[in-house]
Amino acid sequence: MGSSEPVPGAERPAHVAISRVIRLLSEVRLATLALALVVALVEGAAGGADLWVVLLALPFSVFPALTWDSSGAMLSRSGILLACDLVTTVLVVQALSGDIMTVYAAATVALLGVVVGARLALVMASAIAMVLVYVNAQDATGATWLVVTVGSLGVMAMAWAGAALGRSLRAHDVAAHEAALAQVRRAATLERVRIARDLHDTAAGDLAGATMLSGTLLARLTSEGVSERTIALARQLDEACRAAHLDTRTALGELRRAGAQPVDDLTEACERWSRDVGTPVALDVDPRYGDVDTDVAADVRAMVLELLENVRRHADARRVEVTVRVADGELTLTVTDDGRGMAAAPPLDALVADGHFGLQGMDERAHGRGGRVVRETPPGGGLRTRVTLALAPDVVEVR
């Protein structure tokens, strides 16, 4: 039997959240069938038909109890199996009459409520309740009618209670899964920060010192008039040290930035660009952007910076607006400027021919995530670039 514990980073099947209560209700039905059959045999009221009805009903409790984790998705979507379960419940209630069958009926409608929700479960429960009333109506007196009525209403209430329990279990499972994912992300962030700190304290410092020494060595060799071959080697050493130092600082920046929240990281990038260029940027970010994966946030940040750089080089804009929206499994990034714009929003091939290679990289990022890029001229001129990315579902739909 499969585990129902949340797996960080993996999508949770909706049926796993209700597996325990499904098994419990199925076991209740099995125990009720066994008890009712024993009582009927002791009282000598059981016949061959009763035994066949019990054997017919057994699989509808045995299979969910044993295989729900692996086959629950199929069982819960099969209207035929649910209808057959309803029919066998009606047959069981008619064949094995008695108060114990009210328990079986209540367990059945509660199970249906957990699986299919309140509306359909209440429709099925009404059919079972009418059968209970019919079976007990022949022997009911004035005193027992109240018991029959209350029992039938109780069966209806169990359908609603089962649906409410199913919703609660699914919501709790989603919350637990999100908490597990958040814990994994936090652990990864802390590890990145630790690596960045260690890298800064060791390799980055050593490379900074080596860069200073190589520069000093090159200056001294040049002033002392050594051979050009030696100076060329010293220059290569100095360039290698500076390149390694720059690469290390870039890696440090990426590691530190990975520890930041996506919203804060994007805000900092836009504010820094606005401060350096002198063009104001109005940033509007959906709060749900903070829940996207780190890789997606990195791509969004890179595309925003590319579009802002394109504004700086070509648009001569006075104002830029950046909006990020997350809805319906998609992330939409929109960057609008009031600059010179592009005539008729030329296709990508024309942009690449004019030297806009960064826009080609942005299109490739978007297509790599199942998205698209649309460029258009907004009212009043300028350029509006809308990038849509498909987001992988990490929240299980709650019925």
Rounded CA separation 216/227 (Å): 17
Is 283 inside any structural domain?
yes
Amino acid at 5: E
Instruction: From residue 112, give the alpha-carbon distance in Å to each of 228, 396, 398.
Output: 88, 20, 16
| Domain extent for 203 | 186-258
Kindly state whether residues 161 and 75 are assigned to the same domain.
yes
In this structure, the answer to whether residues 105 and 192 fall within a common structural domain is no
176 and 203 together in one domain: no
Q: What is the dihedral of CA 256, 260, 264, 267, to 10 degrees?
A: 30
Same domain membership, residue 369 and residue 337: yes
Q: Do 74 and 133 sit in the same domain of this protein?
A: yes
Asked, for residue 396, whether it belongs to a domain, the answer is no
- 89 and 30, same structural domain? yes
Which of 189, 232, 28 has the alpha carbon at shortest distance from 114?
A: 28
Q: Are residues 198 and 316 in the same domain?
A: no
Q: Is residue 386 part of a domain?
A: yes
From the CA atom positions of the chain, what is the Rg in Å?
A: 34
359: CATH: 3.30.565.10
pLDDT tens series, the chain, 399 aa = 333 334 444 456 778 888 899 999 999 999 988 887 777 777 665 556 677 888 888 898 898 889 888 888 888 888 888 888 888 888 888 777 666 777 888 888 899 889 988 888 888 888 888 877 777 666 555 555 666 677 677 788 888 888 899 888 888 888 888 788 778 777 777 777 777 777 777 787 788 888 888 888 888 888 887 888 888 888 888 888 888 877 777 677 666 665 567 888 889 889 989 988 899 999 999 988 988 887 788 889 889 988 998 888 888 889 999 999 998 889 999 999 998 877 655 555 555 555 555 677 788 888 888 889 998 888 888 899 999 999 865 433 333
Q: Are 155 and 213 within one domain?
A: no
Q: Are residues 236 and 342 in the same domain?
A: no
pTM (2 d.p.): 0.53
Question: How many domains does the chain divide into?
Answer: 3
- 308 and 355 assigned to the same domain: yes
Token pair for 112: 């249906």
Q: Identify whether residues 207 and 304 lie together within a single domain.
A: no
Q: What is the pairing mode between strands 372-376 and 330-337?
A: unpaired
Are 122 and 164 members of one domain?
Answer: yes
